[in-house]
């Protein structure tokens, strides 16, 4: 079992959240990008970033303490991010603009690379 703690303010890294740090430490310890069969224990319900990371790491379960509303009450309001992802792209605070799709898609032909590992 690996531990993580919120290092966002100390490192000025918005991704250095508790769950992310624990998952990173676990990946280093296991020598693998997957945590399949592993659980995530957290004092609060993860933000959308950390939930996504738990899925990418293939965690089996997440045991959460407080809810999103509980953490919003103490000044950490992640609910706005969840609401943004359910908006249409035109209504989001961060606009999404697709550029150079054909040209960039060629560089994304990962599946044709020799030794490609699916994740």
Active site residue 19: yes
- Alpha helices (H) along 1-119: 8-11, 18-30, 48-56, 68-73, 79-86, 101-107
The sign of the torsion formed by the CA atoms of 21, 22, 26, 32 equals: negative
Cβ–Cβ < 8 Å for 48, 19 = no
Indicate which residue of 19, 53, 96, 109 is catalytic.
Answer: 19
The residues assigned a catalytic role are: 19
């Amino acid at each position: 079992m690996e531990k993580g703690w919120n290092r966002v303010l100390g490192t000025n890294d918005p991704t250095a959240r508790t769950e992310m740090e624990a998952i990173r430490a676990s990946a280093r310890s296991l020598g693998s990008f997957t945590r399949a069969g592993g659980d995530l224990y957290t004092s609060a319900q993860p933000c959308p970033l950390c939930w996504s990371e738990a899925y990418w790491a293939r965690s089996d379960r997440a045991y959460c303490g407080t809810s999103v509303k509980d953490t919003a009450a103490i000044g950490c309001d992640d609910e706005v991010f969840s609401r943004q992802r359910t908006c249409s792209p035109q209504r989001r605070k961060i606009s999404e603009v697709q550029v150079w799709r054909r040209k960039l898609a060629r560089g994304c032909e990962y599946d044709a690379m020799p030794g490609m590992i699916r994740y």
